[in-house]
């Protein structure tokens, strides 16, 4: 009988789940696929914005990670204590796991505390708890100034804060307090979705302007006063708010930083086509990586890319172990929905690896793309769980 081998998959987000499924299908039954995550449930993060305005219930956005065990995948829950990338060993809750290969898909860590007062003053749109608190806030919100803030210029899901502002603007109309309210975006970055290219950025800017949303780019937050409900920016500008909704600063997870896996970018450096790292048998995919583009910005951190990268890594790892020569590569193709409210959404899709700048086409918002996003949400949770 052939000796069994094992793949350690760190993180049960989009990339980790897709990698685990594909490897289970491609590798023989005696090879072990072990996935690690500290959470009980896998969260379909794109739907947090619908939860934020009361159009979803929390239980509809997640599935138990333990369900992966039905597919022959071993699930280990708990906080990873350390990673040894040379020996491919993961330590967790006093136990060590050694793999013949390792796929790191631990995502980004939210560093709310990097800006004093931020978490006390507002709500993080990237967490289940934060989105639920925003939903609950509308019940007693009488109207006023709503500020959507990006606390740092680089973050995952670049469309999210702009979608949030558009959906909030729509929801204020829906609950009858739009005339007593104002929605503003204060962004650390110089323009919306710049990694998708100038045409997409201009299209998103036009969408928010058409809805009367005020936009202040190049405003890096320096101080948040939760008592006075005031924001201060590096420009010297100060602004008040009645409700603050924010995208926090991101960084690589602590266990990744402690393992010295990060480069000068602050993230794991990988081959842009195969997502190999400097360590043999160790791959990294998704938000925990940094892939520079010719435009001087990194490939966006988004689930669509983590998904595609996971398929490439799973295919190539299985091909190597099974002794086949066919190899796949990641080509930079991706897409992103942009919800604007009123049951309409746009979509940007194209080649983010195109040079000299990404070649991404933006489709006009319509009910078609809104329904497509709903269909994708249902498909994702059914397909993988």
What the block records as the tokens of 376 is: 């994708």
CB burial string 93-113: b at 16+ within 10 A, e below = eeeebebbbbbbbbbbbbebe
Per-residue model confidence as pLDDT tens digits over 84-107: 999 999 999 999 999 999 999 999
Per-residue model confidence as pLDDT tens digits over 112-156: 999 999 999 999 999 999 999 999 999 999 999 999 999 999 999
Dihedral angle over CA of 207, 210, 211, 212, nearest 10: 120
Q: What is the pTM for the complete model shown?
A: 0.95
What the block records as the tokens of 149 is: 């803030």
Per-residue model confidence as pLDDT tens digits over 317-374: 999 999 987 899 999 999 999 999 999 999 999 999 999 989 999 999 999 999 999 9
- Cβ-contact 14, 308 below 8 angstroms: no
What mean pLDDT value characterizes the chain? Answer: 96
Number of H helices, E strands in the chain: 9, 25
Reading phi first (left if > 0) and then psi (alpha if -120 to 50, else beta), residue 78 is in left
Per-residue model confidence as pLDDT tens digits over 20-70: 999 999 999 999 999 999 999 999 999 999 999 999 999 999 999 999 999
Average pLDDT over residues 199-228: 96
pLDDT at position 2: 61
CA distances from 13 to 116, 141, 252, 271, 348 (A): 29, 33, 15, 21, 23
pLDDT at position 1: 42
Report which of 92, 88, 82, 70 is spatially closest to residue 7, judged by C-alpha positions: 88
Query: Which domains, ranges and CATH numbers included, belong to the chain?
Result: 6-108+252-322 (3.50.50.60), 111-249 (3.50.50.60)
Residue 218 CA to residue 238 CA, distance in Å, equals 14
């Amino acid at each position: 009988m052939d000796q069994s081998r094992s793949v350690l998959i760190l993180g049960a987000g989009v990339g980790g789940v897709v990698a685990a499924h594909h490897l289970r299908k491609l590798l023989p039954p005696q090879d072990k696929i072990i996935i690690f995550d500290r959470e009980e449930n896998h969260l379909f993060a794109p739907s947090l914005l619908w939860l934020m305005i009361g159009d979803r219930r929390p239980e509809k956005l997640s599935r138990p990670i333990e369900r992966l065990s039905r597919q022959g995948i071993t699930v280990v829950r708990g906080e990873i204590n350390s990673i040894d990338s040379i020996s491919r060993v993961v330590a967790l809750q006093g136990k060590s796991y050694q793999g013949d290969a390792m796929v790191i898909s631990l995502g980004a860590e939210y560093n709310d505390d990097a800006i004093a007062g931020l978490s006390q003053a507002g709500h993080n749109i990237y967490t289940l708890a934060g989105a639920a608190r925003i939903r609950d806030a509308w019940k007693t919100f009488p109207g006023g100034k709503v500020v959507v803030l990006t606390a740092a210029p680089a973050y995952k899901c670049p469309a999210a804060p702009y979608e949030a502002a558009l959906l909030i603007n729509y929801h204020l109309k829906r609950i009858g307090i739009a005339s007593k309210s104002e929605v503003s975006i204060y962004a650390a970055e110089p323009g919306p979705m710049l990694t998708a290219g100038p045409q997409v950025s201009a299209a998103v800017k036009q969408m928010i302007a058409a809805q009367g949303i005020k936009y202040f780019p190049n405003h890096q937050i320096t101080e948040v006063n939760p008592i006075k409900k005031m924001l201060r920016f590096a420009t010297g500008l100060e602004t008040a708010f009645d409700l603050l909704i924010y995208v926090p600063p991101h960084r690589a997870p602590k266990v990744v930083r402690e393992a010295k896996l990060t480069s000068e970018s602050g993230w794991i450096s990988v081959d842009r086509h195969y997502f190999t790292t400097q360590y043999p048998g160790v791959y990294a995919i998704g938000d925990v990586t940094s892939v520079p583009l010719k435009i001087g910005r990194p490939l966006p951190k988004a689930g669509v890319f983590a998904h595609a990268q996971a398929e490439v890594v799973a295919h190539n790892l299985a091909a190597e172990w099974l002794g086949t020569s066919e190899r796949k590569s990641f080509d930079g193709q991706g897409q992103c929905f942009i919800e604007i409210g009123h049951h309409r959404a746009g979509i940007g899709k194209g080649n983010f690896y195109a040079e000299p700048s990404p070649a991404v086409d933006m489709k006009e918002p319509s009910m078609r793309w809104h329904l497509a996003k709903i269909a994708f949400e249902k498909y994702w949770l059914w397909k993988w769980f």
